[in-house]
């Protein structure tokens, strides 16, 4: 099993959309995929599950539950019956009553599962933050807290015999993301060709290296064998450029200005190479065009953009756009699998 965290310090670059579609395409390629939602905003969970399933999963009372005939309809929403979220899994640690309470992945389709997120996961931030320094001294309670995500993901992946784990995290460098990224074997970075994404890379690269060295040198040697702990590999897998929708106030020249800077910034900031050639694009996995016109249709149909049909409103030229979308995501998924296979001996 190999885990991939999709992360950029800058929000709004299409990270969750990329995670969602990659999960479906990798499953299409025959991989057993576990999608993990460690973003407290839970956008990936909301993209995969409908509102009725979310209500069952999150246990929220609503008018929908009170409506006449709901009980008869409830049988239609079975994927989340009896399932819980990652926030439920860490609740014993948060409340000081015990260790993690593992949760079972929700089956999405054959070969694809979801470890659902929950807005309540944000409550775990302070606990993780306080545990980071305590872990330097080998405090076992702190270690169990910091390794909680790793152990939850590890058990869930083993339960479904996953080949790949895709971890969706929020756009910040807080304690939740630190614990999430420590659990990742590799990091894939969605990018926009703009100043904000490049600034995000400048912040992200040194931070990942600092987390890795601190964990390996100060914490990992003190963790007993009885506690499964991550190696904090966080190997840079590469980046995917998410093409913007061109506007009259932002001409193509402005886009290309930032596009040409990405390889050097990635090489120096993320890879830590002092003399990275400015034209070395070996870590650029793909450029995905903007599919914003397909997103509303995909949302309404509750399916990936590349699965849209005429019955979903993808008519005429739009259907050709859907086919292009399918080809691009397939090529991206194949390229990622190839890179993951090539990186195995290095770990």
* pLDDT at residue 44 greater than cutoff 50: yes
How many separate domains does the chain show? 1
Q: Decide: pTM greater than 0.85.
A: yes
Range in 18-22, 81-85, 155-159, 336-340 with the lowest mean pLDDT: 81-85
* pLDDT at residue 234 greater than cutoff 90: yes
330 part of a folded domain: no
183 part of a folded domain: yes
336 part of a folded domain: no
Q: Output the pLDDT for position 192.
A: 85
Closest CA to 167 of 158, 154, 199: 154
Q: What is the DSSP letter of 267?
A: I
Contacts of 275 (CB under 8 A, 6+ apart): none
pLDDT, average across residues 48-53 = 87
Report the CATH number at residue 211.
Answer: 3.40.50.300
Chain length of the chain: 347
pLDDT, average across residues 185-212 = 90
332 part of a folded domain: no
Task: Please tell me the number of Cα atoms within 13 Å of 231 on its side-chain side.
Answer: 9
* pLDDT at residue 122 greater than cutoff 60: yes
* pLDDT at residue 12 greater than cutoff 80: no
Range in 142-151, 199-208, 240-249 with the lowest mean pLDDT: 240-249
* pLDDT at residue 149 greater than cutoff 90: yes
**Continuous segment of H or E residues that includes residue 4:** strand 2-6
Confidence at 125, pLDDT banded by 50, 70, 90: very high
pLDDT in tens, 151-176: 999 999 999 999 999 999 998 899 99
Closest CA to 38 of 99, 89, 101: 89
User: Sheet of 284-288: strands edge to edge?
Assistant: 106-109, 112-115, 33-37, 164-168, 2-6, 186-191, 235-242, 284-288
331 part of a folded domain: no
Domain containing residue 274: 2-291
Contacts of 177 (CB under 8 A, 6+ apart): 7, 38, 169, 170
Can you tell me which residue has the tokens 């910091």? Answer: 146
333 part of a folded domain: no
pLDDT, average across residues 34-41 = 96
pLDDT in tens, 77-110: 557 666 789 999 999 999 999 999 989 999 999 9
234 in Cβ contact with 208 (< 8 Å): yes
Q: Output the pLDDT for position 80.
A: 67
pLDDT, average across residues 239-264 = 75
Q: Output the pLDDT for position 198.
A: 87
């Amino acid at each position: 099993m190999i885990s991939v965290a999709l992360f950029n310090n800058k929000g709004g670059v299409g990270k969750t959309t990329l995670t969602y579609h990659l999960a479906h395409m990798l499953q299409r390629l025959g991989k057993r995929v576990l999608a993990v939602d460690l973003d407290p905003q839970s956008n990936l969970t909301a993209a995969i599950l409908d509102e009725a399933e979310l209500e069952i999963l999150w246990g929220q009372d609503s008018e929908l539950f009170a409506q006449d005939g709901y009980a008869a309809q409830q049988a239609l929403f079975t994927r989340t019956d009896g399932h819980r979220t990652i926030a439920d899994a860490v609740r014993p640690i948060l409340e000081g009553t015990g260790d993690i309470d593992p949760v079972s992945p929700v089956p999405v389709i054959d070969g694809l599962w979801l470890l659902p997120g929950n807005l309540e996961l944000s409550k775990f931030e302070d606990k993780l933050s306080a545990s980071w320094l305590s872990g330097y001294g080998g405090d076992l309670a702190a270690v169990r807290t910091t390794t909680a995500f790793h152990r939850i993901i590890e058990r869930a992946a083993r339960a479904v015999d996953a080949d790949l784990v895709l971890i969706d995290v929020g756009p910040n460098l807080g304690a939740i993301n630190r614990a999430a990224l420590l659990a990742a074997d590799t990091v894939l970075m969605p990018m926009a060709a703009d100043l904000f994404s490049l600034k995000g890379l400048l912040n992200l690269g040194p931070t990942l290296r600092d987390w890795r060295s601190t964990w390996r040198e100060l914490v990992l040697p003190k963790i007993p064998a009885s506690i499964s702990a991550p190696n904090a590999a966080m190997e840079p897998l590469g980046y995917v450029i998410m093409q913007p929708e061109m506007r009259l106030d932002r001409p193509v020249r402005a886009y290309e200005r930032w596009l040409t800077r990405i390889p050097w910034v990635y090489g120096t900031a993320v890879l830590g190479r002092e003399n990275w050639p400015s034209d070395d694009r070996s870590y650029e996995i793909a450029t995905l065009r903007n599919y914003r016109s397909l997103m509303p249709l995909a949302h309404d149909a509750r399916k990936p953009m590349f699965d849209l049909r005429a019955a979903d409103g993808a008519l005429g030229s739009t259907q050709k756009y859907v086919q292009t979308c399918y080809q691009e995501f397939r090529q991206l998924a194949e390229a990622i699998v190839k890179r993951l296979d090539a990186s195995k001996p290095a770990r």
